[in-house]
Amino acid sequence: MKLDTSGFETTMPTIGFGSSNDMLDGFSTVPSFDLPRTTDFDGFQKEAVQMVKPAKGTTTLAFIFKEGVMVAADSRASMGGYISSQSVKKIIEINPYMLGTMAGGAADCQFWHRNLGIKCRLHELANKRRISVSGASKLLANMLYSYRGMGLSVGTMIAGWDETGPGLYYVDNEGGRLKGDRFSVGSGSPYAYGVLDSGYKFDMTVEEASELARRSIYHATFRDGASGGVASVYHVGPNGWKKLSGDDVGELHYHYYPVPPAIAEQVMEEAAAE
């Protein structure tokens, strides 16, 4: 059964209709990827899904509060047990007033967020007004739905501020799209939820909210092996997003739980005995 997707097409005309304009071909329509030429397509698809392994070793979170949306993430990339990087940017700047978080396959998230940014800009040019957070998340969700079952691994949150106020949506590779006030995505999300849910109040100041976000990420990096590195915190307000902090989680631990310094007398005694 072929789904009728004509409603999903954008209203703006394809530029260079019929002619082969390499620069714009990829943007104006659904990017078409070559399908693999294999006798066993289903088996290949199964292997492709396993390759990226939608385990989503990461911790990202976002929540709406009185002053806007707070978005935070860790910065570790892991390949099985090996830490491949401690400095990955998991909060993607789609445009100056919208942020996306990365969980799952890094390549998938980076590509599709950039693609979304392009689509949002084209919408602005065609309609002479900014796209809403609801609209942007829907564009992404529909795109991911059309690749369902092919092994994409994307667990993202779209956070932004539009005419209706702060907006937060969760979008994943299954094509799911949820509107909500509080989300956490990734292998460290249970730990982050624990701290976030117990400390959350709608009426928080920006400082209180950013401290809550930072603490939640810190606790997730402590307990979860696949999260770590730097806890980045961003705030999305009526004038767009602003990066608030990027603290190394190793140092945050000793900031929250300082080690009592060793007593000086002991050291003096040892020297005297020699």
Partner 1 sequence: LQIFEYNGSAVVAMVGKNCFAIASDRRLGVQLQTIATDFQRISKIHDRVFIALSGLATDVQTLYQRLVFRHKLYQLREERDMKPETFASLVSAILYEKRFGPYLCQPVIAGLGEDDKPFICTMDSIGAKELAKDFVVSGTASESLYGACEAMYKPDMEAEELFETISQALLSSVDRDCLSGWGGHVYVVTPTEIKERILKGRMD
| Subset of residues 123 to 182 that bind partner 1, contact rule: CB under 8 A | none
Q: Do residues 226 and 78 make contact, with C-beta atoms less than 8 angstroms apart?
A: yes
| Gap between the Cα atoms of 215 and 43, Å rounded | 43
Q: Do residues 81 and 244 make contact, with C-beta atoms less than 8 angstroms apart?
A: no
Q: Do residues 92 and 99 make contact, with C-beta atoms less than 8 angstroms apart?
A: yes
The residue within the footprint of partner 1, chosen from 225, 239, 242, 243 (CB under 8 A), is: 225
114 near partner 1, rule: CB under 8 A: no
81 near partner 1, rule: CB under 8 A: yes
Per CB under 8 A, the segment of 30-38, 123-131, 192-200, 224-232 that binds partner 1 is 224-232
Name the minimum Å distance from CB 170 to partner 1. Answer: 22
104 near partner 1, rule: CB under 8 A: no
Per CB under 8 A, the segment of 76-84, 157-165, 177-185, 236-244 that binds partner 1 is 76-84
Residue 154 neighbours by CB under 8 Å, 6+ apart: 103, 104, 105, 108, 109, 112, 144, 171, 172, 173
232 near partner 1, rule: CB under 8 A: no
192 near partner 1, rule: CB under 8 A: no
17 near partner 1, rule: CB under 8 A: no
User: Is 10 one of the annotated active-site residues of the chain?
Assistant: no
189 near partner 1, rule: CB under 8 A: no
How many other CB atoms are found less than 10 A from the CB of residue 50? 10
76 near partner 1, rule: CB under 8 A: yes
| Gap between the Cα atoms of 86 and 195, Å rounded | 23
| Gap between the Cα atoms of 176 and 157, Å rounded | 11
Active-site position among 14, 58, 101, 221: 58
Name the minimum Å distance from CB 50 to partner 1. Answer: 15
Of 180 and 190, the one with the shorter C-beta distance to partner 1 is: 190
Helix (H/G/I), strand (E/B), else coil: 172? strand
Q: Do residues 103 and 58 make contact, with C-beta atoms less than 8 angstroms apart?
A: yes
Of 180 and 225, the one with the shorter C-beta distance to partner 1 is: 225
Tokens representing 212?
């809550």
The residue within the footprint of partner 1, chosen from 37, 82, 267, 268 (CB under 8 A), is: 82
214 near partner 1, rule: CB under 8 A: no
- The residues carrying an active-site annotation are 58
